[in-house]
Structure 1
């Protein structure tokens, strides 16, 4: 199974972001054959009317023979989550022992910035932080109807006897089509211990995103109808920039070889940001913490500095005026001469090595 992908592909309209996902990331990075296993690719398009209910699920009325009933319809995220759990279930035997690796599932979100992402994700936002093993670092509670639908989608069912004790547990999507789990417990708490590999809590109705569920989104940087994405939301994603020529901007190599190098850089970057406070609104929110980028194997690549940190600096810190960045890279005395050198983010991203060196020497 591949490393967890939680990525936003961004750039101008018509630069091939969706094609990159379909032709490169899904088949090669995630090893998903969309023709063979279409159920492992769930697609959504955000727009101003798209809601948390569309994302997670909602009750809708149905009139039949003069009677009004309500059915729960799962949203794109709940459907993707259930499919990921199903793929995990079939990799475990009836005793809960892992026997193989689960297939990947991907939730593709087009135009993520055309919907109110904070409202759409709601409490799911908490799940976007991932541990090194790929599972969400934290869990979150979902309502009972939603949780019951999740269990139904993954084929998990359990019955109680007249005294309120669990008498049978069935997972329909296990290796045997309709397999009964060997279960000697009596309560939901006991059952939790039996299916710990699913990492959800039947008692408290909490869920986590599993490591085989990946989320990829596209974002148009020039869209005038976009919603604001707050810094906390942005931080939880890997970012990849596609320039106007449809080239994926990605510098090879390692920018910081040790965590100490990264921490020293963060301190100097924050000093640079504070020294240019006149150009910034909300100076406290515009500084970065050491966990803004996760250090992997004590190293940080140029590519992640380009796509995540430099985009944050460009789009959120110096969004109103790029003068401090031009002066940083070319010298204050040369501002007038070079003020047209940083017109687009693509211009800035290509100067990742110069940017790092300038901050370190500033």
Structure 2
């Protein structure tokens, strides 16, 4: 298992207002730990590193465990990990960390996370080695949260960890500074790594005593039961690697990352009935959120990908697509399942039974049909409280490379009974039984598989969860970091869906009435957006109009004017341009009703000064050949 993913650049903080960061230059003589960017201070104001001059800085490792609980490990409990913030040079406004007689962060964090010693300022001996093996990588950059403790001290809390490798110094050069090779950058999934250390510790009884004791120490360290000591951690990592190489030479080389081998030795697989990924893989993330401004076509795109259109198949069979829309009152019991009153068809007797929600329904179909793919589409995922709706099953969203849940979730007694009933009543039980026994484990019979399924939930690789999210909507619920990190996100640009094909016609070519004239809907929409972005109005991008802000069915010339007034004009008047009405609309239009009345007659002339000039569609020519007056 790799905990690293490749990046194009180490500048992960670029483009953010709060972009405070640590940058370790391993090639600058003894190595320099630079600080840069701005951070949020009191009253939401941005501060520069200059405001930290003279303070003593320490680092805090922050992560969420499998239950979503946040832990903090204070590295500043070790004097070697406390560094002064000083100017980079005499009179400089730029800051750096003083590393004299200290251990640099590029050594501290790897020691804490059971990684092999990094190469520091020394370059790789050979570029033929993997950048992620011993002596060929180091912690290059961290994007930081800043917590000012008092007048004398400050704590830095990394939001990411970017490692660099792939370079060496050319031998035989007198100054020793000539570097060859291209740098490569990797992001460390630090939360997954921390949780895997905890999981390995929970199974350490299967390990030799000396190895188990070391793993237990790191568990206590991460949970705050032990104070951090760099020297002790560094020594323990070295001992761990040596002991593992001595005990398991056929499995572990003694120089690479020890954790993947530890996980294998401790048998930390989340579920023994894990699929072997024989299902046809869909080259898309399994947990996927499409987000963007209202009307950008998120639902249209997601539905087209999943279920297809009348003339084009989707990635899933249509009966393998389950759709649900979140709303403020939506709950875990509706999403996963709960006990409900129930009466059998044709009877008047009412009893209670566990009724599965869309999540459990999709899950059961997916595990019972391992050669077929299933998807659960969630519309408006942040219109409900995602953490509350997902509850404990959010833990299942952590997936391994094959798409299986890393951490299983125990089932309640009622849910276990429902899962058992589901398998008992399968229409084509023999076919499903044969598929399961071939697919999961040749030595695992159907009854044993059903028993495992009743004991715990573990998402299979053929179950996908895709969602849409409008970050600009009022009344939406925020997502915490632990929830968001389990998803892949795709941003839908404001114009991305403009050329969507609607029944053989491009959305951008559909013509609509605008007062007494006719204009292409997309031209009118773009003109409004440009006006909203102008210096006079200046609204955020997530308040702009996407091409699907008005549904394609409502672009009918017979109904468009009324729909435009009800949706677009009301949105502009009461939401996007509420504080800029005097500039957004013509000065003589004082009320919403006046704006609507004027639009019927004058079209885009209702907007204020500076509204872009529209290119109207030519009026259709009148056929006068049969006119009796001619």
TM-score where L is the length of structure 2: 0.31
Q: 1:134 aligns with which of 389, 403, 418?
A: 403
Structure 1 Cα separation of the partners of residues 457 and 390 of structure 2 = 14
Look up the match of 2:479: 229
Structure 1 Cα separation of the partners of residues 482 and 350 of structure 2 = 42
* Conserved 8 A contact 2:403-2:460: yes
Q: 1:18 aligns with which of 294, 299, 312?
A: 299
Q: What does 1:258-337 correspond to in 2, within 5 Å?
A: none
Look up the match of 2:329: 49
> Which structure shows the higher helix fraction?
1
The 1:199/1:344 distance shift into structure 2, 3 A limit, reads: farther
Q: 1:207 aligns with which of 435, 448, 457?
A: 457
Post-superposition CA distance 1:261-304 (Å, at most 9, x none)? xxxxxxxxxxxxxxxxxxxxxxxxxxxxxxxxxxxxxxxxxxxx
CA deviation after TM superposition for structure 1 residue 26, in Å: 4.2
Structure 2 Cα separation of the partners of residues 194 and 66 of structure 1 = 39
CA deviation after TM superposition for structure 1 residue 105, in Å: 0.1
* Conserved 8 A contact 1:56-1:78: yes
Structure 2 Cα separation of the partners of residues 133 and 29 of structure 1 = 25
Look up the match of 1:109: 378
The answer on 1:148 being equivalent to 2:417 is: yes
Higher relative contact order (CA 8 A, sep 6+): 1
Look up the match of 1:194: 445
* Conserved 8 A contact 1:11-1:241: yes
The 1:66/1:84 distance shift into structure 2, 3 A limit, reads: closer
The 1:198/1:12 distance shift into structure 2, 3 A limit, reads: farther
Structure 2 Cα separation of the partners of residues 194 and 29 of structure 1 = 35
Structure 1 Cα separation of the partners of residues 374 and 343 of structure 2 = 35
Structure 2 Cα separation of the partners of residues 235 and 81 of structure 1 = 22
* Conserved 8 A contact 2:410-2:456: yes
Look up the match of 1:31: 315
Look up the match of 1:332: none
Structure 1 Cα separation of the partners of residues 377 and 391 of structure 2 = 18
The 1:197/1:177 distance shift into structure 2, 3 A limit, reads: closer
* Conserved 8 A contact 1:200-1:208: no
CA deviation after TM superposition for structure 1 residue 62, in Å: 4.5
CA deviation after TM superposition for structure 1 residue 33, in Å: 3.1
Structure 2 Cα separation of the partners of residues 129 and 32 of structure 1 = 22
Look up the match of 1:276: none
Look up the match of 1:122: 391
Structure 1 Cα separation of the partners of residues 313 and 404 of structure 2 = 19
CA deviation after TM superposition for structure 1 residue 172, in Å: 5.3
Structure with max Cα Rg: 2
The ranges of structure 1 where at least 4 consecutive aligned residues each deviate by more than 4 angstroms after the TM superposition are 25-30, 62-68, 195-200, 340-343
* Conserved 8 A contact 2:367-2:460: yes
Post-superposition CA distance 1:196-225 (Å, at most 9, x none)? 99697257x111000000000000111111
The answer on 1:73 being equivalent to 2:355 is: yes
Secondary structure, aligned partner of 1:201: helix
Structure 2 Cα separation of the partners of residues 49 and 175 of structure 1 = 41
CA deviation after TM superposition for structure 1 residue 243, in Å: 1.7
* Conserved 8 A contact 1:126-1:139: yes
Structure 1 alignment gaps of length 5 or more:
89-101, 158-170, 183-191, 249-337, 348-362
TM-score where L is the length of structure 1: 0.52
Look up the match of 1:354: none
Look up the match of 1:218: 468
How many residues are aligned here?
A: 217
Structure 2 Cα separation of the partners of residues 178 and 5 of structure 1 = 25
Structure 2 Cα separation of the partners of residues 344 and 200 of structure 1 = 51
CA deviation after TM superposition for structure 1 residue 20, in Å: 0.2
Structure 2 Cα separation of the partners of residues 209 and 58 of structure 1 = 19
Post-superposition CA distance 1:47-86 (Å, at most 9, x none)? 1111110011111124798865212211010000011012
CA deviation after TM superposition for structure 1 residue 147, in Å: 1.9
